[in-house]
Amino acid sequence: MERRSLSHWVEILSADTVKNVTDAMISVTSKDGSGKRAALDGYVVAGKTGTAQTVDEKTKRYSQTRYISSFGGFPVGVSPKLVILAVLDEPSRPTYYASETAAPLFKEILNAAVTRYAIPSVGELQIKPLASKDNLKKRKEEAIALSQAHPEPTVPLELLGTSPQGKKVWRMPSLRGLTVQEASALFDDTRVTIRTQGAGVIEDQTPNAEQKLIEGETVSLRLGF
Using DSSP's 3-state secondary structure scheme, residue 196 falls into: strand
| CATH ID of 133-224, from 3.30.420.40, 3.40.50.300, 3.30.200.20, 3.30.10.20 | 3.30.10.20
The CA distance from 159 to 2, in Å, is: 57
Residue pLDDT, tens place only, 165-217: 999 999 998 888 888 877 888 887 788 888 988 877 788 999 998 999 999 99
Dihedral sign for Cα 203, 207, 211, 212, please. negative
The CA distance from 133 to 208, in Å, is: 24
Q: What is the pLDDT of residue 152?
A: 42
Task: State how far the alpha carbon of 175 is from the alpha carbons of 200, 209, 219, in Å.
Answer: 13, 8, 11
Q: Do domains 15-116 and 133-224 have the same CATH topology?
A: no
β-sheet bridge partners, residue 47: 73
Which residues neighbour 163 within 8 Å (Cβ) at sequence distance 6 or greater? 169, 214, 215
Q: Are strands 193-197 and 218-224 parallel, antiparallel or unpaired?
A: parallel
Residue pLDDT, tens place only, 153-163: 445 688 999 99
- Mean pLDDT rounded to a whole number for the chain: 81
Residue pLDDT, tens place only, 127-147: 333 344 555 455 545 544 544
What are the strands, taking DSSP E only, across 56-155? 62-76, 84-89
In this structure, are residues 68 and 54 in contact, taking their beta carbons and an 8 Å threshold?
A: yes
Fold (CATH) for 15-116: Beta-lactamase (3.40.710)
Using DSSP's 3-state secondary structure scheme, residue 221 falls into: strand
Q: Where are the domains of the chain?
A: 15-116, 133-224
Complete DSSP assignment for 40-60? -TTSEEEEEEEEEEEEPTTT-
